[in-house]
């Protein structure tokens, strides 16, 4: 361990295997909080690589609980968080639209860390039980085509880094790889990141972790979502090739609006916003979700373009199918509970 720590402290990158060796010690509780904090800080200062992200993500996944999913082409659409934008829960809302469009979504997430409301807080406010056992979650996912996987329950060994993350109070590689550690084997993914400089590296990591197709997105203002505020940058992983792209809101008929237009609040306020969107009430919130759901359909391969994805998202919301998917999730959760 001492040699590997010195390597990172000397601003050198670790290999995938070396990172796994350190991660194994971390997630078995064999390192002190001071050692973990020093390691995470050193990685952040030197800059994280795809090899390092893959090494930690694989270690966390290997220790995760097992969710039995019988569906094909399963995806997730969670982001890293950490952008400090104060926006509402965009990806959580978009998950209902994606599921309504026939995509199986294993929505992986946590409580609020840097924002006022995390995905877990919102699901709880909606009446969804986030504490279901793995076998019951498997039933929900297979029957509804959408389930919320509460990260602390999926990854019990993450308890060894909880205090450090809170005390550091800044995003680290654990934020960057959180969306990579879904316990369900994913075929595709839409992942948001607050680090535009790591778009290509993150897409590369997703490929190394077995994703057949993925989009890693960074919005204007470095949001971990696509936004209407300006240019959205994204990396597309397709057939093991990575290409870089940009999109503008005007391309899809959306008005350019400041980030303040999609401000959220605590879980109760964000729940009201989500319900207004699923009920197709016109607003910047709705347009933002349509853009992100459109990217989700494109990421999944359900459609061949972002434009087609947005059109599908509009149909899912306008028809009431996205709102119905929420009701179905709540109903089935209560039945299995």
Is 114 a known ligand-binding residue?
Answer: yes
Is 28 a known ligand-binding residue?
Answer: no
Is 34 a known ligand-binding residue?
Answer: no
Is 112 a known ligand-binding residue?
Answer: yes
E strands, 40-140, in order: 75-76, 105-109
Residue environment code for 104-138, b if the CB has 16+ CB neighbours within 10 A, otherwise e: bbbbbbbbbebbbbbbbbbbbbbebbbebebebbb
Strand order in the sheet with 75-76: 146-150, 105-109, 75-76, 188-192, 213-218, 232-238, 241-247
Is 220 a known ligand-binding residue?
Answer: no
Nearest C-alpha neighbor of 57 from the set 208, 245, 198: 208
Is 111 a known ligand-binding residue?
Answer: yes
Tell me if 123 sits within 8 A of 92, measured CB to CB: yes
Is 305 a known ligand-binding residue?
Answer: no
Residue 252 is given by DSSP the state G
Is 82 a known ligand-binding residue?
Answer: yes
Is 299 a known ligand-binding residue?
Answer: no
Is 288 a known ligand-binding residue?
Answer: no
Is 165 a known ligand-binding residue?
Answer: yes
Tokens of 86: 């104060």
Is 79 a known ligand-binding residue?
Answer: yes
Residue 197 is given by DSSP the state G
Specify which residues 206 forms β-bridges with. Answer: none
Is 225 a known ligand-binding residue?
Answer: yes
Is 224 a known ligand-binding residue?
Answer: yes
Is 25 a known ligand-binding residue?
Answer: no
Residue 106 is given by DSSP the state E
Nearest C-alpha neighbor of 225 from the set 192, 180, 190: 192
Which residues sit in the known binding site for Mg(2+)? 91, 224-225
Which residues sit in the known binding site for 5-phospho-alpha-D-ribose 1-diphosphate? 79, 82-83, 87, 89-92, 107-115, 119
Which residues sit in the known binding site? 79, 82-83, 87, 89-92, 107-115, 119, 165, 224-225
Which residues sit in the known binding site for anthranilate? 79, 110, 165
């Amino acid at each position: 361990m001492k040699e590997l720590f010195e390597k990172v402290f000397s601003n050198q990158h670790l290999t995938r295997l070396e990172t796994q060796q350190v991660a194994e010690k971390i997630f078995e509780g064999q390192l002190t909080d001071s050692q973990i904090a020093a390691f995470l800080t050193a990685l952040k200062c030197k800059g994280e690589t795809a090899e390092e992200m893959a090494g930690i993500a694989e270690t966390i996944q290997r220790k995760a609980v097992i969710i039995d999913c019988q569906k094909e082409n399963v995806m997730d659409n969670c982001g890293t968080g950490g952008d400090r934008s104060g926006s509402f829960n965009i990806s959580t809302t978009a998950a209902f639209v994606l599921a309504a469009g026939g995509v199986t979504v294993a929505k992986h997430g946590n409580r609020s860390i840097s924002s006022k409301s995390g995905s877990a807080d919102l699901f709880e406010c909606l009446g969804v039980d986030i504490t279901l056992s793995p076998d019951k979650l498997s039933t929900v996912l297979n029957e509804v085509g959408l389930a919320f996987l509460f990260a602390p329950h999926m990854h019990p060994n993450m308890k060894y880094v909880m205090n450090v993350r809170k005390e550091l109070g800044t995003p680290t590689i654990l934020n960057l790889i959180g969306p990579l550690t879904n316990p369900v084997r994913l075929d595709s993914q839409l992942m948001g990141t607050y680090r535009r400089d790591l778009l290509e590296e993150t897409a590369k990591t997703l490929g190394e972790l077995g994703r057949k197709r993925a989009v890693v997105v960074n919005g204007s203002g470095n949001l971990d979502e696509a936004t209407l505020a300006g240019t959205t940058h994204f990396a597309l992983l397709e057939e093991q090739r990575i290409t870089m792209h940009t999109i503008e809101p005007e391309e899809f008929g959306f008005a350019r609006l400041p980030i303040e237009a999609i401000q959220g609040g605590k879980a109760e306020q964000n729940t009201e916003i989500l319900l207004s969107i699923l009920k197709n009430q016109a607003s910047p919130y709705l347009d933002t979700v349509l853009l992100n759901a459109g990217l989700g359909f494109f990421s999944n391969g359900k459609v061949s373009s972002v434009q087609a994805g947005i059109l599908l998202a509009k149909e899912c919301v306008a028809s009431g199918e996205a709102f119905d998917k929420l009701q179905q999730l709540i109903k089935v959760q209560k039945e299995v509970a």
